[in-house]
Structure 1
Amino acid sequence: MVNWAVIFGSVILCLLMLLTRLPGMELLGIGPNWLLIWVVAWSVKRTPFQGALAGIVLGLLQDAMTSPDPTHALSLAVVGCLTALLQKQRFIQEDFISIALIVFGMAVLVETIFAFQLIFMGDRNTADIWGYYQKVALASAIVSSLWAPVVYFPLNRWWQQLKLAEQQS
């Protein structure tokens, strides 16, 4: 029960942080993608299905706060699945650098998927989308990867303690 409260509370906090811009939290007007960071933190030790499901749920929550067209659920689902696959293949270790690099790469992927969705909608100029995409993707990747430990390490520590308690009982 407490685990669900921590999960729910951390997701709500990340949703609220999407609306907040504190000094030093943005680059070129772009802030961290807190939900992306949460999905990566969740997916690192879970199955691809669990990662994708978390991405879909958080993406739909973000769509509910912003605009559903184009959706954030698709890109966050892909991130959740790929992050889980990276860990399952043991391509990564869990440390500060690895998590920051995963978040950096996944932030670029999220913005790429979002840009493709905008292009496929067909109501905007493709050159304008790609010009804006380059700025947003790089800024989002840098800022999100720098802030990733703020979300990852407390949640990871909580989940490790919970797993340890389950093994002892």
Structure 2
Amino acid sequence: MADEQIILYRERQRFRQLWLWVVVLGVAAIFWVGFVYQVLMGGLYGNRPVPDVQLSILFVLVGLGLPYFFYSMSLTTEVQPGQVLVRFWPFHIKPVRIPLHLVRDYERVTYNPIGDYGGWGIRWGFKGKAYNMSGNEGVKLYFYNKGPLLIGSQNAGELFQAISEAKKAKV
């Protein structure tokens, strides 16, 4: 088995914030109610109702598509000897490969997602770039030739240990 096939650490995260799901499902519910009331029951929904075909399309896109989109989002972090792979689905079709020989230093951090990076997701802030889904812990990588990168994790200690092992490993 080749060294790049060895997985020292793997974590898959999803959005777990209750407030986010309340907002997403609240917006979707507006379209569910409109669809049921106007298309299925034959009433007119709102002061300026749209045709049933348009409402049906909006129902599929927003009422079903928006919750599915947020449900399908995931952040997968994989540590292999000599590299870290980060994939934020559906925005990264292929994982972002971070060669560890380009990392000069790294540390386990506790951060403020909103204050430091402006929230969760793929974020750019004054403190660098971040990939995070939930929580406020992660590992921050410092590079020789570019700004720092934060990788959020629910198991920051294990991620830090795996990066230590992967950096020491001969590739």
TM-score strictly above 0.5: no
More strand per residue: 2
TM-score (norm: length of structure 2)? 0.32
More helix per residue: 1
